[in-house]
Amino acid sequence: MIDMTKVVESSAGWATGAISLAAFVFWLISFPMEGFLLNSISKGLLLYFLIPHAISLFLIARFLNTTYFDWASRASIAGSVLLTVAAPLFPHYIKIFLVLTGLTGAMVLLRGLIVLKNCAKPAVSAGIGIAAGNTLVFLLNQMPANEFAKFVVIAFFLLPVLFFSIKPEANVKHGNDRLYAPFLYVFYLSGGLMYAAIAPRYVDVAWMEGAELAFYVFTALISIFFSMRRLNVLFSMGVLLCMLSFAFYHIQRFAFMNLSMFAIQAAFGLVDLYMVVLLARADRPIRAFGYGFGTNCLAIICGKIIGTYTVSSSDYVLAAGNIILTVTVLIFYFTAYTREKTSEAVQPGRTPAPDSEIVNKHTRWFEKKLSAREIAVIQLVLESKTFKQVATELGISESSVKTYMKRAYEKTAVNSKEGLIALISGIKKEAQTAPPDHEPAGP
């Protein structure tokens, strides 16, 4: 018999988070977010989904009692699956289905993101999840199967999120939640308007179907590297690519229209990953993800409305958006730089520590006592990395690093980092005198 609990735990490094995010992205882009499956039923219905979705995200972030989140999110996933399967069977009620899906889909998103946050490597999970979800959309769209079968497929992909366990650290009333919501709002508003202007022209001159998706996927994957070192660089690069896309757009040549689309897709790939990793570092995940993605939805809604009523003067609107975006990246850089300097000023110095390879050597002993995230934190701390460096590498906040260290102390029956070092040293000495197959007894 295969113990599924151990299988899930062994993949907690990144797989569960990647699967959860990929499943949601696959479902979202294929169906309610004006995907090709929704367009096979009716077109122009984006706001029927997006407005209740945004409202639901904000309300959950503000009011939901975390003790109810687990069962409420499971029920919402089940509801989303049923609504998705029923949508093609009752096309006359598609608007009602979209409103209901907007409400239940908010919980699906939040649960998937909290699964991702609980992984040891949320940045890796986010990059792979975003890339995989978009790739699945492209592949499903190319399949010769009938539309109902495709609805069943995307509904089926939501089911794993139902069974992954979550440990939301949302009972914290105060914490480090750097959401940068105004900056994200401006980017998605301006970027959305830019994409809406490019897309109709790009379709007629595209070099190859799916090439723009390849740029998005590739950018999301390489962003993993940057997110572990200088996360804020992703946002700045995304804004610069959006500005570059605007410049290419105004050169009325086929090649530059393709480059304009590639640049805007790459910009979204960078900032999408940036947003997920940034919010995953927050101490209150339900609040952070709710407000963060609610802001994202609000920007898209406003962009849709502005685009509808400014068709005749779209170039002027895009120019204004580009100017605002330029100012935004300057303010963002100054804000982020100031916060980083403040954080470094209060960061305690490094503490010398023994070789962290002892943790790897006796993984089985540590896994019996500690979670995957706690082990990951300990390993980096034992490499003499500061709490800030550990937080950056794992994609969590500095206060979360301290929380995981405190839990590790409690579970290993020590009271401090020095006690943990002494424990590790004891295991090392015992291992040197024990037979090759002997497992250290521990305290």
- pLDDT tens across 338-368, in order? 655 554 444 444 444 444 455 555 555 566 6
Could you tell me how far CA 306 lies from the centroid of its own chain?
A: 27
Tokens of 149: 């079968």
* DSSP conformation letters of 213-271: HHHHHHHHHHHHHHHTT-HHHHHHHHHHHHHHHHHHHTS-SHHHHHHHHHHHHHHHHHH
Q: Which domain-ending residue is among 346, 381, 402? A: 346
Residue 174 lies in a domain: no
Q: Is residue 386 part of a domain?
A: yes
Do 40 and 105 have their domain in common? yes
How many domains are contained in the chain? Answer: 3
pLDDT of 10 higher than 50? no
pLDDT value at residue 363: 54
Mean pLDDT to the nearest integer, 236-263: 89
**Is 293 a residue whose pLDDT tops 90?**
yes
Model pLDDT, residue 417: 65
Do 161 and 106 sit in the same domain of this protein? yes
Q: Identify the pLDDT of residue 171.
A: 45
Same domain for 263 and 396?
no
- Per residue in 390-443, pLDDT tens? 887 777 777 778 888 878 877 777 766 666 666 666 655 555 555 544 444 454
Residues 303 and 216 placed together within one structural domain of the fold:
yes
pLDDT value of residue 165: 82
Tokens matching residue 32: 């309610």
254 lies in the same domain as 339? yes
Shared domain check, 91 and 128: yes
| CATH code, 412 | 1.10.10.10
Per the structure, the complete domain to which residue 146 belongs is given by 1-168
Based on the domain organization, do 157 and 245 belong to the same domain? no
pLDDT of residue 311: 67
34 and 130 co-located in one domain: yes
Alpha carbon distance 168, 166 (integer Å): 6
d(CA 437, CA 443): 19
The predicted pLDDT at position 338 comes to 64
Domain contains 307: yes
Domain-located, residue 175: no
Whether 314 shows a pLDDT value over 80: the answer reads no
Within this chain, do residues 285 and 210 fall inside the same structural domain, yes or no? Answer: yes
190 falls within a domain:
yes
Reported confidence tier of residue 175, pLDDT bands at 50, 70, 90: low
Assigned domain for 283 exists? yes
Q: What is the mean pLDDT of residues 311-332?
A: 75
Q: Are residues 374 and 314 in the same domain?
A: no
Q: Give the integer Cα–Cα distance in Å for 126 and 14.
A: 8
Give CA torsion, residues 61, 63, 68, 72, to 10 deg: -60
> 430 — phi, psi (to 5°)?
-65, -40
Question: What count of other Cβ atoms lies within 10 Å of the Cβ of residue 143?
Answer: 10
Residue 366 lies in a domain: yes
Q: End of a domain among 311, 346, 381?
A: 346
Average of per-residue pLDDT values in the chain = 81
Contact 281, 395 (CB under 8 A): yes
* Most confident residue range from 96-105, 299-308, 397-406: 96-105
Whole-model pTM: value is: 0.74
**Domain end marker among 111, 144, 168:** 168
The residue among 200, 184, 206, 188 whose CA lies nearest residue 314 is: 200
Query: Does 338 lie in the same domain as 410?
Result: no
Region 9-35: mean pLDDT is 85
Kindly state whether residues 374 and 309 are assigned to the same domain: no
255 within domain boundaries: yes
| CATH code for the domain of 283 | 1.20.1250
The predicted-structure confidence for 211-224, as pLDDT tens digits, reads as follows 889 999 999 999 99
Give pLDDT, residue 98.
Answer: 96
The one-letter amino acid code at 103 reads L
Q: Is the pLDDT of residue 170 over 60?
A: no
